[in-house]
């Protein structure tokens, strides 16, 4: 297998508060803004609180979901008086940290998220990014006591909608379970540790280490499953079944219970065997997603090192 050279990672952005009620990123970014000094001299670290008005009111967003606004189409659409705040803010962030797809973009953009689902620590990134597989493998190998997983989105970069797509490389850290508006020390420390490891990897990479070829397991999106709903009112009529609740990434088989209706009936799964994730994520009630399903795949990657 070929060996690949990448330019050094010099300009790094760490973002939090892209969703204003996901507290790990909000407090980590605030803490870094107080403390962080550039220890190596070679790295430039930019910390960004992505959506301050949403953070101030402790809501996911004020007018529309900021983390769906980073497609090429939305980033280039004209701003008018009626443009939602978050669409304007996305263009500001793109100017500051991108422009997406350009030479001026951050070398690496890390965006910190939380979920109410029992997902442990996940790295989410786009399929085209081999370097992320190396960072993922590194973090996973150094945190053996924690479930660390990769979720790979198979979307062309132009249609990639999330903030991390603005960097030349990027990933989201998605950690749970943590209620919105709540900060848990255990979750905070997981995120802090994974960030420290990412920066450790960056230092090693920039200093000339070769990272060997290898393979990792990763999850890729198959489909979303909605709650059962009353056809007349649209209201949900069942909750996630206790056997599926908190069982993110445990293989779901045909016949397994997935919902328990308010009147007590069990709804069983009748699809292909797949891995559920984002099970009972708070923010997905409005987007009609009770859980998502993924396939598990093995990704192989070539050895890489820095091109100076």
Contacts with a second copy by CB under 8 A lie at 27-28, 30-31, 35, 58, 116, 177, 179-186, 188-189, 235-236, 239-242, 245, 260, 262-263, 280, 282-283, 285
Taking the least distance from each CB to a second copy, the nearer of 171 and 278 is 278
Q: How far is the CB of 179 from a second copy (least distance, A)?
A: 3
Taking the least distance from each CB to a second copy, the nearer of 186 and 270 is 186
Q: How far is the CB of 61 from a second copy (least distance, A)?
A: 13
Taking the least distance from each CB to a second copy, the nearer of 26 and 109 is 26
Q: Catalytic residue at 103?
A: no
Q: How far is the CB of 25 from a second copy (least distance, A)?
A: 13
Taking the least distance from each CB to a second copy, the nearer of 35 and 308 is 35
3 is in an annotated binding site: no
Pairing of strands 257-261, 108-114: unpaired
User: What is the distance between the alpha carbons of residues 182 and 259, in angstroms, rounded to a whole number?
Assistant: 26
22 is in an annotated binding site: yes
Taking the least distance from each CB to a second copy, the nearer of 116 and 274 is 116
169 is in an annotated binding site: no
Q: How far is the CB of 177 from a second copy (least distance, A)?
A: 8
Preceding peptide of 177 cis, ω within 30°: yes
Which of 174, 200, 217, 265 is catalytic? The answer is: 174
| Size of the chain, expressed as the number of residues it contains | 308
Q: How far is the CB of 35 from a second copy (least distance, A)?
A: 7
| CA nearest neighbour of 216 among 130, 289, 293, 157 | 130
- Binding-site residues, in ranges, read 19, 22, 113
- Binding-site residues for Zn(2+), in ranges, read 19, 22, 113
Catalytic residues: 174
């Amino acid at each position: 297998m070929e060996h690949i050279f990448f330019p050094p990672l010099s300009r790094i952005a760490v973002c939090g508060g892209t969703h204003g009620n996901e507290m790990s990123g909000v407090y980590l970014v605030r803490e870094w803004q107080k403390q962080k000094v550039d220890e190596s001299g070679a790295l430039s670290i930019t910390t960004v609180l992505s959506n301050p008005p949403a953070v101030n009111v402790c809501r996911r967003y004020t007018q529309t979901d900021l983390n769906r606004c980073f497609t090429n189409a939305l980033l280039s659409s004209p701003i008018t008086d009626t443009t939602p705040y978050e669409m304007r803010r996305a263009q500001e962030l793109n100017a500051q940290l991108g422009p997406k797809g350009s030479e001026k973009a951050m070398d690496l953009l890390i965006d910190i998220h939380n979920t109410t689902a029992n997902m442990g620590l996940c790295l989410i990134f786009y399929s085209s990014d081999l370097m992320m597989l190396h960072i993922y493998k590194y973090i996973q190998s150094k945190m053996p006591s924690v479930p660390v997983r990769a979720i790979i989105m198979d979307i062309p970069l132009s249609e990639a909608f999330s903030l991390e797509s603005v960097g030349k490389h990027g990933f989201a850290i998605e950690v749970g379970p943590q209620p919105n508006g709540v900060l848990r020390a255990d979750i905070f420390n997981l995120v802090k540790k994974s960030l420290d490891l990412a920066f450790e990897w960056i230092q090693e990479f920039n200093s000339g280490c070769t990272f060997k070829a290898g393979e990792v397991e990763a999850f890729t999106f198959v489909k979303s499953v909605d709650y059962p709903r009353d056809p007349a009112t649209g209201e949900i009529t069942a909750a996630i079944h206790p056997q599926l609740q908190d069982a993110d990434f445990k293989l779901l088989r045909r016949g397994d219970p997935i919902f328990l209706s308010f009147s007590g009936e069990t709804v069983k799964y009748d699809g292909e065997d797949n891995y559920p994730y984002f099970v009972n994520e708070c923010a997905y009630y409005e987007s009609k997603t009770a859980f998502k399903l993924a396939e598990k795949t093995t990704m192989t990657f070539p050895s890489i090192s820095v091109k100076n």
